[in-house]
């Protein structure tokens, strides 16, 4: 007879497995789904969400949790009482969340997300926010209702943030972002005034097939395990799945090979985090990511600190030149490196350079707070968006496609997610500073094409812990300091000051 703890783990793994099936439906929807099959997919999503919800809210889980919380748990599969306590703490939180949300609410939200995604894609293509606005309004109403059902009715935006990054609040993020903005704006202004400029039209006619070869070689050498994952093409790059089966996507542009390369490296960082979580514990908190900010710190660290650095290019530039000899013949190493680190304001978040990127997030964070507080209504969102763009980026979108409709997140009700990108940037820089202290020869390793010491350090210090520590505690333990924007500001000044402010 298995112990109560082992029975609980079996239940959690079953609910988790159903979740991975739902993830595959979502991946397929963005990679392969024929255009007129959206309605049947919405139904499939609704049924899966309901089934998942029934599994996660199974009263048997509640019964087992009650027994385990009252007695010292014993187990054949879990290593220590401390590990079991981590699993129980998160299982209780997830169970309470599942049982407080009625099944019909969950199904309604899933079906609405699927329809809203297609409404967004259509509205974006036509650059017309008005047809999508009712879907966004309903998403806001659903988000408020969900917060209320879970006891966060007076703080619905904090609930949205907590879903992605437990322990963080709008107030704590505001404090970090205010400090970041204060340090960032003078750097942005100085770089914009610089005479040094990267050439935006440097790259022409890079065949997709060779781009595919290069990005496969790069991502494999960084450490992505293709026996437990793959990469396909979608409109908006993403990474889904778990360490047992990761699905990444990218997109190709023959005149912009760096776009698919860096977005793929970014998703690879996410994928390697998932692949580094303890496989035996998949489905329990010991095998789960901490939250989205930590996830983003992993993708950003590889994308920016590593792949935009000199040492990375010392190793990969010869290979890139071998694959594209004619296209790169007239481009010097210095011009290539400057293009990799091009700084140029853009209206599009996913195209933004590292220096401007966080301003795009500050803008979205500000607007989300206003939408949740009621200070801003959905129909006024495009105008508010454009006004903030002018203020922060010095440019105004000509259409909603390059403005408020550019991101997919809100179409699935993903409020409170954007701050994670900026928090992840801060954390990546703080981790980078810590790992360079711990492993002084790191960049010589990169120049030889060996990225395993960095991956090993991340495996030991971040991945191996699953959700043992919350975001802020993890940062404190690994870097010896509180999460702060200062390491990010120092990193940006060093890398971009060195290129643009000589
Ligand atoms: Zn990401």
* Torsion, Cα of 10, 12, 15, 21 (10° steps): -80
Cα-based distances in Å from 230 to 18, 268, 272, 360, 494: 20, 10, 12, 30, 35
My answer on whether 181 and 106 are in the same domain is: no
| Contact between 359 and 326 (Cβ < 8 Å) | no
Give the distance (Å) from ligand 1 centre to CA of residue 225: 18
Query: Please, what are the averages of pLDDT over each run of 10 residues along the chain (502 residues)?
Result: 92 96 95 94 90 93 94 68 92 92 85 91 96 97 96 96 94 98 94 89 94 98 98 93 96 94 97 97 96 97 98 98 97 96 93 95 98 97 97 94 95 96 98 98 97 98 97 97 98 96 88
Query: In this predicted model, what pLDDT tens digit does every residue of 466-485 receive, in sequence order?
Result: 999 999 999 999 999 999 99
My answer on whether 199 and 60 are in the same domain is: no
My answer on whether 126 and 182 are in the same domain is: no
The number of CA neighbours under 13 Å toward the Cβ of 471 is 27
Please report whether residue 138 resides in a domain. no
Q: Which residue has 């590889």 as its token pair?
A: 302
Please tell me the total count of domains within the chain.
2
Give, as one character, the DSSP assignment of residue 235. S
Query: Cα separation of 292 and 278, whole Å?
Result: 18
Please report whether residue 152 resides in a domain. no
Q: Which of 71, 100, 131 is the last residue of a domain?
A: 131
My answer on whether 306 and 213 are in the same domain is: yes
Give the distance (Å) from ligand 1 centre to CA of residue 237: 9
Query: Cα separation of 437 and 480, whole Å?
Result: 12
For residue 101, give every residue at least 6 positions away whose Cβ sits within 8 Å of its Cβ, in sequence order, or none.
Answer: 53, 146, 149, 150
Query: Cα separation of 168 and 279, whole Å?
Result: 27
Give the distance (Å) from ligand 1 centre to CA of residue 27: 15
Catalytic residues, which ones? 267
My answer on whether 179 and 297 are in the same domain is: yes
- Can you list the pairs that 331-339 forms with residues at least 24 positions away whose Cβ atoms lie under 8 Å? 331/202, 335/198, 335/199, 335/202, 336/202, 337/310, 337/313, 338/196, 338/198, 338/199, 338/499, 339/198, 339/199, 339/202, 339/203, 339/258
Please report whether residue 355 resides in a domain. yes
Give the distance (Å) from ligand 1 centre to CA of residue 267: 6
Give the distance (Å) from ligand 1 centre to CA of residue 297: 8
- Can you list the pairs that 179-185 forms with residues at least 24 positions away whose Cβ atoms lie under 8 Å? 179/484, 179/485, 179/486, 180/358, 180/362, 180/422, 180/426, 180/485, 180/488, 180/489, 181/359, 181/362, 183/485, 183/486, 183/489, 184/355, 184/358, 184/359, 184/489, 184/492
Query: In this predicted model, what pLDDT tens digit does every residue of 411-470 receive, in sequence order?
Result: 999 999 999 999 999 999 999 999 999 999 999 999 999 999 999 999 999 999 999 999
Please report whether residue 483 resides in a domain. yes
Give, as one character, the DSSP assignment of residue 451. -
pLDDT of 139: 97
* Torsion, Cα of 263, 381, 142, 36 (10° steps): -60
My answer on whether 369 and 286 are in the same domain is: yes
Query: Cα separation of 490 and 459, whole Å?
Result: 25
pLDDT of 53: 87
pLDDT of 74: 67
Give the distance (Å) from ligand 1 centre to CA of residue 390: 25
Give the distance (Å) from ligand 1 centre to CA of residue 350: 10
Please report whether residue 127 resides in a domain. yes
Give the distance (Å) from ligand 1 centre to CA of residue 259: 14
My answer on whether 349 and 462 are in the same domain is: yes
Q: Which of 72, 106, 131 is the last residue of a domain?
A: 131
Closest C-alpha among 357, 348, 445, 431 to residue 395: 348
CB contact burial 277-307 (16+ within 10 A = b; e otherwise)? bbeebbbbbbbbbbbbbbbbbbbbbbbbbbb
For residue 389, the domain's CATH number is 1.10.1370.30
My answer on whether 50 and 193 are in the same domain is: no
Give the distance (Å) from ligand 1 centre to CA of residue 239: 8
Please report whether residue 386 resides in a domain. yes
Counting DSSP H helices and E strands in the chain, the numbers are 21, 3
Please report whether residue 141 resides in a domain. no
| Angle, CA of 456, 458 and 463, to the nearest 5° | 110
Q: Which of 70, 104, 131 is the last residue of a domain?
A: 131
Give the distance (Å) from ligand 1 centre to CA of residue 207: 26
Give the distance (Å) from ligand 1 centre to CA of residue 325: 31
pLDDT of 103: 77
My answer on whether 443 and 345 are in the same domain is: yes
Please report whether residue 371 resides in a domain. yes
Give the distance (Å) from ligand 1 centre to CA of residue 296: 5
Name the 3-class secondary structure at 250: strand
Residue 254 sits in which domain range?
Answer: 170-500
Give the distance (Å) from ligand 1 centre to CA of residue 57: 30
Query: In this predicted model, what pLDDT tens digit does every residue of 168-224 receive, in sequence order?
Result: 999 999 999 999 999 999 999 999 999 998 887 899 999 999 999 999 999 999 999
My answer on whether 214 and 105 are in the same domain is: no
My answer on whether 445 and 308 are in the same domain is: yes
My answer on whether 178 and 295 are in the same domain is: yes
């Amino acid at each position: 007879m298995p112990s109560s703890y082992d029975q609980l783990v079996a239940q959690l793994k079953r609910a988790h497995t159903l979740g991975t099936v739902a993830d595959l439906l979502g991946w397929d929807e963005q990679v392969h789904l024929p255009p007129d099959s959206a309605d049947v997919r919405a139904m499939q999503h609704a049924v899966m969400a309901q089934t998942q919800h029934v599994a996660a809210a199974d009263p048997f889980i509640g019964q087992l949790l009650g027994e385990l919380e009252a007695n010292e748990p014993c187990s054949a599969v879990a290593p220590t009482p401390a590990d079991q306590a981590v699993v129980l703490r998160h299982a209780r939180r997830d169970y309470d969340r599942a049982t407080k949300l009625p099944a019909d609410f969950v199904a309604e939200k899933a079906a609405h997300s699927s329809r809203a995604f297609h409404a967004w894609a259509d509205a974006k293509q036509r650059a017309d926010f008005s047809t999508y606005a009712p879907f966004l309004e309903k998403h806001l109403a659903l988000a408020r209702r969900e917060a209320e059902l879970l006891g966060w009715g007076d703080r619905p935006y904090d609930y949205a943030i907590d879903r992605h990054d437990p322990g963080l609040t709008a107030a704590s993020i505001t404090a970090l972002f205010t400090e970041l903005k204060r340090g960032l704006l003078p750097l942005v202004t100085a770089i914009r005034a610089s005479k040094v400029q990267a050439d935006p039209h440097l790259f022409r006619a890079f065949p997709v097939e060779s781009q595919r070869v290069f990005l496969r070689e790069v991502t494999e050498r960084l450490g992505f395990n293709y026996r437990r994952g793959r990469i396909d093409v979608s409109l908006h790059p993403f990474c889904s799945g778990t360490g047992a089966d990761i699905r990444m996507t990218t997109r190709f542009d023959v005149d912009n090979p760096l776009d698919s390369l860096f977005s793929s490296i970014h998703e690879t960082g996410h994928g390697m985090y998932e692949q580094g979580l303890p496989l035996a514990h998949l489905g329990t908190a010991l095998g789960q990511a901490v939250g989205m900010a930590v996830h983003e710190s992993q993708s950003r660290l590889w994308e920016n600190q590593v792949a935009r650095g000199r040492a990375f290019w010392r190793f990969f530039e010869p290979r890139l030149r071998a694959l594209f000899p004619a296209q790169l013949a007239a481009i010097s190493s210095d011009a290539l490196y400057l293009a990799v680190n091009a700084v140029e304001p853009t209206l599009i978040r996913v195209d933004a350079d590292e220096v401007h990127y966080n301003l795009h997030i500050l803008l979205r964070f500000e607007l989300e707070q206003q939408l949740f507080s009621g200070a801003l209504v959905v129909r006024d969102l495009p105008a508010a968006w454009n006004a903030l763009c002018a203020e922060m980026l010095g440019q105004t979108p000509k259409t909603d496609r390059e403005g408020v409709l550019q991101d997919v997140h809100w179409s699935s009700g993903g409020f409170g997610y954007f701050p994670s990108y900026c928090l992840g940037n801060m954390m990546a820089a703080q981790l980078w500073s810590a790992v360079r202290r711990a492993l002084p020869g790191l960049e010589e390793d990169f120049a030889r094409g060996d990225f395993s010491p960095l991956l090993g350090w991340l495996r030991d210090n971040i991945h191996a812990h699953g959700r043992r520590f919350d975001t802020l505690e993890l940062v404190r333990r690994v870097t010896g300091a509180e999460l702060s924007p200062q390491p990010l500001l120092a990193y940006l000044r060093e890398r971009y000051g060195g290129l643009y402010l000589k």
